[in-house]
Amino acid sequence: MHLFDHKKELTSFLLAERNKNRTIGLVPTMGALHEGHISLVKKALEENDRVVVSIFVNPTQFDKKDDLEKYPRNLDRDLALLGSVSEKIIVFVPSVDEIYGDDIKSQSYEFDGLDKVMEGKFRQGHFDGVGTIVELFLRNVSPDKAYFGEKDFQQLQIIRKMADFKKLKCKIIGCPIEREPHGLAMSSRNERLSKTTREKASFIYETLQTAKSKFGTESATKITDWAKEEFEKNPLFELEYFQIADEDTLTPMLKKQNDTKYRAFIAVYADGVRLIDNLRLN
C-alpha cells in the first residue's frame, strides 16, 4: 500500500503508473471506513489495476460546525483496514491546508436544479462543497472510473452532472447500499448512535420497504402522509423529509409516469445524528 499526503507526489506516482498502461480507479471517502466503503474499494479493485482511496473530511460540505467537529475520524484503523484489503491501494490523506490553503471555500456550481431539493434544501452549500472536492480529486487523480455509494443517491446524480458539465473523462459508477444486519444503511455517522438506537434505526429501512409495497396502488401524497404519521408515532426519530422523486431529475413525483424510475428518499435525526437512506420503488 502506498500513502501520500501531497497532491504533487500523488500525481507524479500516478503518472508513472499510467505510463505502465495501468488503469486507475478512485474511491473518495471521508474516512471512518466501514463495509460500505470496502465494497466500493473491492469493486474498484476488480475493475482497475490500481485504486486510489482518498480520506479527507471536507470542511466546505458541512453546513454546521458542530457536525464537522463530531464527524468520526480514525485514520490508524482506516489504514489498517485498507492494508488488509490489497497492496494495490494508494491512499491519499491530504491536510485541509494542502487542499484549500488559507482560502477554505467552495466553488459555485450549476447542477441543473438537482441541488435544489432534499439534501440541497436542508444543507445550504453542501453540494457546492462536494462538487469542489470531488472535482479536485478527479482532476488530480484522473481516474478511469470513480466509485460512489447509492446511499448518497442525490450526491451521486450531482457528481454525474458535474463530471458531464465539466467534460471530465472519468466514468462515475454508482454502487448498491450496504446495510447493517438490522437494515440500517451503513454510514460513518452510525458510530455516533447508541447501541439501542442503532438497532431500532431499522425502522427507517422498514418504512422505505413498506412505502415500496404501497407504491403499486397508492399515490405519492398518500404514502408520504403515511410515512410522516409513522414517524410521529416514533419519538426516537425526528423526520426531516420523506420524498418520492424521479431518480434522474430528483423532482418530486406528482403523477406516476410509466417510463420513469422513482425512489423514496428519507432524512431522519436519531440521537442528534442525521441519517439518510433511499430505496428504488419500481
Residues in touch with ligand PAF (CB under 6 A): 28-30, 58, 61, 130, 133-134, 152, 155
Q: Return the biggest CA–CA distance within the chain.
A: 60
Please give the single-letter amino acid code of residue 201: A
CB of 35 to ligand PAF, least distance (A): 14
Q: Which three cell numbers stand for residue 89?
A: 491501494
Distance CA 157, CA 237 (A): 27
Cβ proximity to ligand PAF: between 163 and 211 the closer is: 163
Q: Do residues 14 and 52 make contact, with C-beta atoms less than 8 angstroms apart?
A: yes
Smallest distance, Å, CB 28 to ligand PAF?
4
Nearer to ligand PAF, 175 or 211 (CB): 175
Q: Which is nearer to ligand PAF, 48 or 155 (CB)?
A: 155
Nearest-approach distance from CB 279 to ligand PAF, in angstroms: 18
CB nearer ligand PAF, residue 61 or residue 243: 61
Set 2, 34, 37, 126: catalytic member: 37
Q: How far apart are CA 64 and CA 129, in angstroms?
A: 13
The neighbour count for residue 258, using CB atoms within 10 Å, is: 5
The least CB distance from residue 102 to ligand PAF, in Å, is 20
In terms of CB distance, is 130 or 162 closer to ligand PAF?
130
Q: Is 6 a catalytic residue?
A: no
CB-based burial label for 184 (10 Å; 0-12, 13-18, 19+): buried
Closest CA to 26 of 124, 169, 214: 169
Which of 137, 175, 139 is CA-nearest to residue 156? 175
Q: Report, in Å, the least distance between residue 225 CB and ligand PAF.
A: 31
- Check the CA dihedral 9-10-11-17 and report its sign: positive
Could you give the residue numbers annotated as active site?
37
